[in-house]
A and B are shown apart, each in its own frame.
Chain A
Amino acid sequence: MSVITLVNVSKSYRTYAHPWDRLKEVITHRSYHQDHQVLKPLSISIGEGHVVGLVGRNGAGKSTLLKLIAGTLLPTTGTVTTQGQVAALLELGAGFHPEMSGRENVYLGAAVAGLSREFIESRYEDIVQFTGLAEAMDRPVKTYSSGMTARLAFAVAMAVEPEILILDETLSVGDGAFARRSFERIIDFKSTGKTLLFCSHSMYQVESICDRVLWINDGMVMMDGDPSEVVSAYTEFLTGQSEPPNPTHSSDSVPSASTSSGGTRIMDVKVFVDGYESKPLTIESGSSKLSIATRFKAPDNLPLPSIGIVLVGGNGWPIASASSLDDALRFTRNPEGIYQATVTFPRAPLLKGNYWINLFLMCEQGIHFYERAERVAEFTVVQNTREVGLVSLNRSWKTG
């Protein structure tokens, strides 16, 4: 059964020479505007229980499409039909007032979300329990940290118990252990047969959780279908663009982005070439052994995490990756809660150029990021052959 149906939906933003032209247009029904079309007519049907990802460059029209489905924007043409309650985590905590207590803001947020007093009263204890903020509920929200406010807002938004959940760029909310809980709550959608829509620049996450992907470009659906096919086509498209995807700019050799670790965190990362840790790191193409060793901390109350490593080329494009999950590496729980892993690339087949390493500490399913350590090390590959490209492939020749 289709729970989201868009028929010939388009969206144009209108620009006016004078502000009062808009009012004149409303009153007289005569056109005084110029259209700036951000979404060209499209028809989409999304079935119940599907997890649909939207990919595309910034400004492609992804967020506009999500807003149209969420009902915060009205289409210029066509119709949008949704079946069941929709929750859009596009603007968490809309209407929250910093001077009001957590309790008052729960009622306010619930009212803004369209919930009745009876409904929110019956769910209030569950909301408080989920946020873990029981002792702070009578304090003004202005005394909360941003993470605490996000927790409260997320719990209120999810109290709607939606059939359709819409997310923009994030699969978790808040900080610390709550990020993990919010992530689980979102992922639970998948298992309970509800519909999840999200847009992301993380192709990894899109491929991991979606069963259908829409690629939006210049307000049009370029491709709609199997995640691996769409992501491949989209990635290929991006390689033809001048801008690299999501370039990272940190030059630190320490973890550069701690996102909602919940006690799970990277302690250190070391990179060895032929067993030596030196700076600058230089690798001889096809003969040096590249090893990346990391230590991380993981608490007892969460499943042991997985590790992902990405080798990134000098232009920002990922060249190769390795994941402890895909390679079936299992950690054994120990009382100290400190773990280590080393991945080795023998006779690294990279060709000459500059590269860097990104390391990710992820949940046991390899979807939720506890911590990202981007550009933890940079290295240079040198070669004494005439090969060109990024990697040297194993090959055999035959003469005839």
Chain B
Amino acid sequence: MLHLLKKLLSGISPLLLLIRQRFLILQLLRRDIVGRTRGTLLGWLWLIAQPALQVIAFWFLLDIVFQMRSPGQVRYLNYFLIGMLPWLYLSEVLNRSINVLNEFAALYQRSRFPVAVLPLLPMVMGLLIYLPVYAGVAVYFQDGLAGLKAIAIMLLLFVWVIPFAYLLSVFGLFVREVRQVFPFFLTMIMYVTPILYAPDALPESVRWALAFNPIADLMALIQGWINGLPVEPGNWVRPLALWLLLATPAWVLFRRSEPHMREVL
């Protein structure tokens, strides 16, 4: 019984690891930032500037060129940014998780190193980039309370994405095809999720399929909380159930895979 309880609680191990290894994670984040931005004119500002430019490109296309309309009284740009920024965060985390064990292989290939911190890096890095931008956008379009909600949303997404990041890091290392096909898969998810458009823009006949897309549930929750759009109980239940279902197995699978990781490389 105690063993089973321990196993179940191991789902929160990544969070404990984050606290325990904060100095190491901080140093690795610094390494990552320096690697990406040193030598550029704007330096670390590029970390924020890059997603900002991406957002501007989407906005120009959808709001100015196509003049997309949004649901209810919410201005389209507001609707779009409130959904798009969390999606960019999630997609960046998932996309980097696939490759993170290869990317940092030099750290653990011939050295003693806590490999389990590696999938946390894209998550924390993404948070550093998107949290301030997201909070700023929420405050700009609404008020301080929306800014606080935006911070809470990003932190909750951080926790929610943990099992997926750990699973993908293992799959990305062991099954290389996953690395090739995953960017396409992410793009498809974005198109079938009401991020660029409102859920009611979908034909009635296919709207039921959103129940099988956990990202669509997350988007409904986010839009509901910040923009006051309708939320259904299923939007809470499904992502939560999925997280509870995956948290412990993802961690257990990662730990079981650790002895194989150096050999794969």
Contacts and interface: CB of A to CB of B under 8 A. Distances in A.
Given A26-B260, A111-B24, A67 B34 contact: no
A58 B168 CA distance: 37
Contacts, number: 88
Interface in B174-220: 174-176
Given A19-B264, A72-B262, A108-B28, 14 more contacts: A19-B176, A23-B170, A23-B257, A70-B112, A72-B111, A74-B259, A86-B112, A94-B106, A94-B111, A95-B28, A95-B106, A104-B30, A111-B28, A112-B27
29 contacts: A14-B260, A14-B263, A19-B176, A19-B264, A22-B260, A22-B264, A26-B170, A26-B253, A26-B256, A27-B253, A70-B112, A71-B112, A72-B108, A72-B111, A72-B112, A74-B259, A88-B112, A90-B111, A94-B106, A94-B110, A100-B38, A107-B27, A108-B31, A111-B24, A112-B24, A112-B111, A116-B23, A117-B23, A140-B38
Given A23-B171, A27-B253, A73-B262, A114 B112 contact: yes
A112 B256 CA distance: 22
Contacts of B74: none
B30 A108 contact: yes
B113 interface: yes
Interface string B232-265: 0000000000000000000001001101101110
B110 A67 contact: yes
Contacts of A72: 108, 110-112, 262
B230 interface: no
A14 B174 CA distance: 13
A35 B80 CA distance: 54
Interface of B: 23-24, 26-28, 30-31, 34-35, 38-39, 106-114, 170-171, 174-176, 253, 256-257, 259-260, 262-264
A116 B259 CA distance: 25
B39 A111 contact: no
A90 B111 CA distance: 8
A175 to B, nearest CB: 22
A91 B265 CA distance: 15
Contacts of B30: 100, 104, 108
A99 interface: yes
B175 A23 contact: yes
Contact of B109 (A13, A88, A91, A111): A91
A397 interface: no
A97 interface: yes
Contacts of B112: 70-72, 86, 88, 114
Interface residues of A, number: 33
A108 B24 CA distance: 7
A380 B264 CA distance: 52
Contacts of B257: 23, 26
Interface of A: 13-14, 19-20, 22-23, 26-27, 67, 70-74, 86, 88, 90-91, 94-95, 97, 99-100, 104, 107-108, 111-114, 116-117, 140
B23 A20 contact: no
Contacts of A86: 112
B254 to A, nearest CB: 10
Nearest to B260: A22
Given A95-B106, A99-B35, A99-B38, A19 B23 contact: no
A131 to B, nearest CB: 19
A243 to B, nearest CB: 27
Contacts of A114: 24, 112, 114
B111 A111 contact: no
A221 to B, nearest CB: 23
A71 B115 CA distance: 13
B255 to A, nearest CB: 10
B22 to A, nearest CB: 9
From B39, B109, B110, B257, residue with most partner A Cβ within 10 Å: B110
B168 to A, nearest CB: 12
A118 B83 CA distance: 41
Nearest to A70: B112
A70 B108 CA distance: 12
